Amino acid sequence: MSKLSGGCLCGNIRYKILKEPLLAYTCHCRFCQKDTGTAHRSALATLNEYVNLSGNELKVYTYKSEEHGRQLYKNFCPDCGTTISLKTERFPERQVIMLGTLDDPSQVQLSTHMFAEEAFHWVEFPKDHIVYARHRINEDGTPASPIN
Ligand SMILES: [Zn+2]
Ligand SMILES: [Zn+2]
């Protein structure tokens, strides 16, 4: 049983995560840079069934990646614009929740980085973290080998 909860800036959207996350990671890809408007996105991955939303309905923006042709769905508060979660065409049973929207982000341990090859040049990775050049799962479904 997880005690993780969070919400958007204005408080009109709240959520609880009912089970411990599968993974927490930081993604340095260009999509995450553009979408967050900053250097990277930190998020936790969980199954859809473990996310309990309350309050207003999330608004969805659908983005089609030019790189792999699949769709990404960004879910945000229509009132304050905070991105709460992302869903993907590739992993429809999962979603990722933005770590910064948690009430207490210190409850989640993070040691995985993806898309290091697109990271801002000043980003330094902690020595004991696991770093992937691109996604941790290859296009053919096999696990990628970390570069650190
Ligand atoms: Zn809001
Ligand atoms: Zn990304």
Q: Which ligand is nearest to the CA of 83?
A: 1
Q: Count up the domains in the chain and report the number.
A: 1
> Does residue 139 sit within a domain?
no
Question: Measured in angstroms, how far is the CA atom of residue 74 from the centroid of ligand 1?
Answer: 14
Kindly state whether residue 146 falls inside one of the protein's structural domains: no
Residue 144 lies in a domain: no
Please say whether the beta carbons of 63 and 72 come within 8 A: yes
Residue 6: pLDDT over 80: yes
User: Is 137 a domain residue?
Assistant: no
Pairing of the two strands 51-55 and 13-17 = antiparallel
How many whole angstroms from 34 Cα to the centroid of ligand 1? 20
pLDDT over 90 for what percent of the chain? 93
Q: pTM for the complete prediction?
A: 0.93
- pLDDT tens per residue across span 108-148: 999 999 999 999 999 999 999 999 999 999 989 999 999 98
- Give the list of residues 6+ apart from residue 26 with CB closer than 8 angstroms, or none: 40, 41, 42, 43, 110, 112, 113, 114
For ligand 2, the distance from its centroid to the CA atom of residue 76, given in whole angstroms, is 17
Give distance in angstroms: CA of 58 to centre of ligand 1. Answer: 9
Beta strands in the chain (DSSP E): 4-7, 13-17, 23-27, 41-47, 51-55, 59-64, 71-76, 83-88, 94-98, 112-114, 130-131
Using the mean position of ligand 2's atoms as its centre, give its distance from the Cα of residue 9 in Å: 22
Q: What are the tens digits of pLDDT across the range 28-49?
A: 999 999 999 999 999 999 999 9
Report the distance separating Cα 138 and Cα 39, nearest Å. 23
Question: Does 95 fall in a domain?
Answer: yes
What pLDDT was estimated at residue 83? 97
Cα-based angle 70, 73, 74 (whole degrees, multiple of 5): 140
* Ligand 2 center to 32 CA (angstroms): 4
For residue 104, give its domain range.
4-131
CA of 53 to the centre of ligand 1 (A): 13
Does 141 map to a domain? no
Q: How far does residue 86's CA lie from ligand 2's centre (Å)?
A: 10
* pLDDT-above-70 percentage for the chain: 99
Ligand of minimum distance to the alpha carbon of 114: 2
In the prediction, which pLDDT does 148 show?
84
Q: What is the mean pLDDT of the chain?
A: 95
In this structure, is residue 147 part of a structural domain?
A: no
Mean pLDDT of 92-110: 96
Note whether residue 79 is domain-resident: yes
At 1 the pLDDT is 62
CATH of the domain at 104: 2.170.150.70
Residue 121: strand, helix, or coil:
coil
Dist. CA 107–CA 128, nearest whole Å: 19
